Amino acid sequence: MDNDGFTGGFLKNDTVTMHYGTGVTGWNCVVKYYDPTLHKLTVTGITHGNEFTVGDNIRAYNATGGITIDTAYVGGATISRIVTDSSQALHHFENSGSTFDGYDDIGGGFETSTVWLDPLSKYDGTTQVPLSDAGVTFGDTLLYGYSISGSNNYVKTNYEYEDEKNEENRIISLLQPEFIDLVSNEFKKFIRS
């Protein structure tokens, strides 16, 4: 395994097993989704009593989602964090909260900036330094902080992300009453043409 616990990859419908030493301990589940950027593996079909725990070594085998495993090992990992409620799983990292004065919307107000952060970067609250830069190791990254150290700094969960998108859709603009007749008349002319 490499320094972040992953080798190879995971594909939809690969069979995932626990693996210790040289042997497979049995079939456990099937890959539903794998995000290679976040090293986030979503699985389905775990049976009661076969749940994974932090520190388990897992391997993926190219299969069709059944218990018959093709012997071609295609990926592996050491589990570092488990989230059983997908709504609370990591969606992305972001820094938000910088307020710009003078934001001009109907009624005035303020705008808060939001910056999506590279999970494989070191971030000090103002500057991102990518993993590829000299001196930055995986242990310095946001992803390491989340998955290994248990930090929730700059984490946006699936629930928070979807909730914010829904809130943005609630904002509607209404026509001021003095323009209703004008717009209605223009619309009627347009329809008649």
pLDDT at position 124 is 85
Residue 102: predicted pLDDT = 45
Tell me what the mean pLDDT of segment 41-55 comes to: 87
Last residue of a domain, one of 63, 82, 101: 82
Query: Got the DSSP string for the chain?
Result: --TTSEEE---TT-EEEEEETTEEEEEEEEEEEEETTTTEEEEE-PPTT----TT-EEEEE--SSSSPPPS-EEEEEE-----SSGGGSEEEEEEEEEEETT--STT---EEEEEEE-TTEEE-SS-EEETTSTT--GGGSHHHHHHTS---TTEEEHHHHHHHHHHHHH------GGGHHHHHHHHHHHHH-
Average pLDDT score over residue span 125-153: 90
Shared domain check, 108 and 163: yes
Residues 111 and 150 in one domain: yes
Which amino acid, one-letter code, is at 119? P
Separation CA 59–CA 31 (nearest Å)? 11
pLDDT score for 136: 92
- When comparing pLDDT for 24 and 123, which is higher? 123
Q: Looking at the structure, do residues 18 and 70 belong to the same domain, yes or no?
A: yes
Domains of the chain: total: 2
Summarize pLDDT for 54-87 with one digit per residue, the tens.
988 888 887 655 555 556 667 788 899 999 999 9
> Residue 153: inside a domain, yes or no?
yes
Residue 113 phi/psi, 5° resolution? Answer: -80, 150
Residue scoring higher pLDDT (98 or 8): 8
| pLDDT for position 126 | 83
Judge whether 18 lies within some domain.
Answer: yes
Which of 82, 112, 140 lies at the terminal end of a domain, its last residue? 82
**Is the pLDDT reported for residue 4 higher than 50?**
no
Domain residues for the domain of 172 are: 88-178
Q: Give me the percent of the chain exceeding a pLDDT of 90.
A: 31
pLDDT of residue 171: 80
In a domain, 120, yes or no: yes
The 10s digit of each residue's pLDDT in 158-190 is 999 999 999 888 888 888 899 999 999 998 988
Q: pLDDT class for 21, splitting at 50, 70, 90?
A: low
